[in-house]
Amino acid sequence: MTASRVFVTEDRKIYLKLRRWAKRRHHQKSTDWVVKKYWRFETERRDFATEDGVRLRRHLHTPIRRHIKVRGDKTPYDGDWSYWATRLGRHPEVPTRVADLLKRQRGRRVWCGLHFTERDGWEIDHVIPEALGGTRGRDNQQLLHRHCHVQKSAERLLSVRYAYGIMT
């Protein structure tokens, strides 16, 4: 059974239990009156809420996160920080920004497409350099292998020199 179906089922069970409680509390009133008193309608959904507007959160509004199975030959103690930082977006031996970039890039180097390993030297690079109007934000950063970063910088320098006619 999928998580969303379970959430719908649980929301229904809670609704029925709360309605039964409210009906027992106001046994002389009709079910319609009880529902109008305790359930607030907002657009197309009804939520159990107080008169002050505090609402009971429904299971269905819980974000569903799919989990990826851990490879059988991996443990958090094997020293493979690249795998764990890519998988979790964090690792105690890797700076937070690097782990975030590893996760976003799925463990691959943007420039050459190869996977990072724990032996690789890495550098944080600006996709659009600040000198050309790039920002310092994480959306303008990428993780590159050291020699790829040198190669990218050399190519960019050549293209700038060519654009300005400074060929030596």
Q: Domain map of the chain by residue range?
A: 3-61, 81-164
Computed over every residue of the chain, the mean pLDDT equals: 79
pLDDT single digits (tens) 15-53: 999 999 999 999 999 988 988 888 887 756 678 888 787
Strands 45-48 and 122-126: unpaired
User: pLDDT at position 158, please?
Assistant: 67
Structure pTM? 0.46
Report the pLDDT value the prediction gives residue 21, as an integer from 0 to 100: 94
